[in-house]
Amino acid sequence: MISSQTCPICKKELSANTTMLSPLFPFCSKRCKQVDLLRWDNEEYAVVDPISPENMTEEMAEQFEEEIQKKIDRMEEGSF
């Protein structure tokens, strides 16, 4: 079964219409997006692995493949 995307701040389930093209994605609201930014600003989050262009490219490719597979699965289930 495919699990739905949830907001990383409040854990609210995102609607099927929320896409990566949304300026709020992956958040459900402007408030949650701002809470996340504040947490970064307060250094509550940290990047622990060195970031290189190669790592970013691999990670982005994996995320893209996962999103494509989710869309294919939804189409096969008939719930686009």
Distance CA 34, CA 27 (A): 9
Split at pLDDT 50, 70, 90, the class of 80 is low
Q: In terms of domains, do 40 and 53 share one?
A: no
pTM, 2 dp: 0.54
Q: What's the domain count of the chain?
A: 2
The span from the CA of 42 to the CA of 16, in Å, is 32
The boundaries of the domain holding residue 13 are 1-46
| pLDDT tens, position by position, 25-76 | 999 999 999 999 999 999 998 877 777 777 778 878 888 888 888 888 888 8
Q: What is the pLDDT of residue 2?
A: 59
Q: Are residues 39 and 19 in the same domain?
A: yes
25 shares a domain with 1: yes
